[in-house]
Structure 1
């Protein structure tokens, strides 16, 4: 991210299709007026070299993604595991059963399964949950931290999708892997006609005063406009406006933000009202809101209006 970037709104531009036969994003309603075939289980959504991004094929692959999440969240970071999580060595919850699981696999890194067969290693994952699926299964995970239902109710003609549980194996935390994950998400958004993406992003630490500059920077520079603003649930609300804008070293605060949060800002994301402390994961969460019509045209066009940049 350029150090001169202080206001995410300055980077937000309406979607401008790339040259060629690509489908435009509709000004209102769904992400595209074209009729698209939904993403299928196991479908490949893109490739870069030996890396492939696709949907999980079966429960075994979901469990491998859960083990990757455990390795990153519990072994590398500071999440606190309960007895069941320690025993299974998998990060899992009830939402995994009906979410779609986006995977990055490395065909150059083969691991033997329990049957002795060599399988490409899963090195990155994202969990996605569409509104229609959430409605049939008790709602979104994010609703435990933010009053997102008020935003959904205010936009009855739009399709929402939740992003969550994002992680990448340490040796693969590079531009190539992240770009491939986002290529997969963009393909998924287009194919399912998603209008709004949302989800929680985490800043390490559970003491808001220790990350006051980061929270205040987001409050002053990236807070959602009124029509997209969502407030943290009352009993978990943490004030983000912890410092006047004039007292913040904006460059330092921006550098300190997690790469995922900075990536969302580059895409043109908004931040919700208030943070939430997640003691189990040792983090402070902020709400990410990304209306497809407001995404930064530079990045959308980079992946292609039809998600063709890394298509196989």
Structure 2
């Protein structure tokens, strides 16, 4: 049985947005409703068994109280990785030897009708505050590309292969039945402009912090996404980037 952990409550204001820890079933239902919209699911709420295990963060418009972004976090040790969402799709035994606290970040969604970059900044400020409060040493999760067709993302995947594959000692292995083995299959020099244009914003941020990815993408037809396992070792984040994140937090 996993041991209970005290969770640091997040509450902050930046510009026109606030970020806080969900404090009620109504908060979580609001997050699930936004998730369903963002993923284009044919249901009113996106809910699963992991919601009860996670801490949920809400980013809201300060004036209207409208929920504009949400994500959830589950704190784990290497021995507990089998309880992660990602373990359904990736064989993670290589990471079991990682020493230090890990947090799985998932269901990251920004209202699809909004394009304000400050929303992402506030979300990362909340994540930074959580990481510092809990002495987290690795963030990981599944970074999603919209849809299940690979064609428009080939330059992005070629760039991931060329520059951002996981260290061999942490590399996740194939577990899901339907995957795109981009590291093995692609033989192209990436067009960096096209690659960055098609890179999901969350994954782009992970990479700027020194993040790395699996050598294959999972084809998730239920969620209508392609996703790659993504890890960020906190100790490897460039010092300038850490200072910027902590200034936001």
TM-score by length of 1: 0.72
- Aligned-pair CA distance for 1:258: 1.8
Q: Residues 71, 284 of structure 1: CA spacing in aligned structure 2 closer, same or farther, 3 A cutoff? A: same
- State whether structure 2 residue 109 is matched by structure 1 residue 140: no
- Aligned-pair CA distance for 1:160: 1.2
Q: Residues 205, 171 of structure 1: CA spacing in aligned structure 2 closer, same or farther, 3 A cutoff? A: closer
| Map of 1:72 onto structure 2 | 38
Residue aligned with 1:235, SS:
coil
How far apart are the structure 2 equivalents of 1:275 and 1:282? 13
Residue aligned with 1:71, SS:
helix
| Map of 1:47 onto structure 2 | 13
Q: Give the alignment's Cα RMSD to 1 decimal.
A: 2.1
Greater fraction of residues in strand: 2
Alpha carbons 1:216, 1:240 under 8 Å: kept: yes
Alpha carbons 1:70, 1:91 under 8 Å: kept: yes
| Map of 2:74 onto structure 1 | 129
Higher relative contact order (CA 8 A, sep 6+): 1
- Aligned-pair CA distance for 1:50: 3.1
> What does 1:25-104 correspond to in 2, within 5 Å?
38-40=7-9, 43-44=10-11, 46-74=12-40, 79=41, 81=42, 86=43, 89-104=44-59
- Aligned-pair CA distance for 1:107: 2.3
How far apart are the structure 1 equivalents of 2:169 and 2:80? 22
Which deviations, in whole Å up to 9, do the C-alpha atoms of 1:221-254 show, x marking residues without a partner? 11112123222316333211333243x3232222
How far apart are the structure 2 equivalents of 1:166 and 1:135? 22
How far apart are the structure 2 equivalents of 1:58 and 1:272? 35
- Aligned-pair CA distance for 1:92: 0.7
Gaps of 5+ in 1: 1-36, 110-119
TM-score by length of 2: 0.89
Residue aligned with 1:108, SS:
coil
How far apart are the structure 1 equivalents of 2:118 and 2:62? 15
Gaps of 5+ in 2: 1-5
- State whether structure 2 residue 105 is matched by structure 1 residue 160: no
How far apart are the structure 2 equivalents of 1:146 and 1:47? 36
Which deviations, in whole Å up to 9, do the C-alpha atoms of 1:242-277 show, x marking residues without a partner? 33243x323222222122221211121101121100
How far apart are the structure 2 equivalents of 1:225 and 1:270? 8
How far apart are the structure 2 equivalents of 1:38 and 1:60? 19
| Map of 1:243 onto structure 2 | 186
Query: Larger radius of gyration, structure 1 or 2?
Result: 1
> What does 1:288-303 correspond to in 2, within 5 Å?
288-303=230-245
- Aligned-pair CA distance for 1:297: 2.1
Counterpart of 1:177 (choices 96, 112, 119) is 119
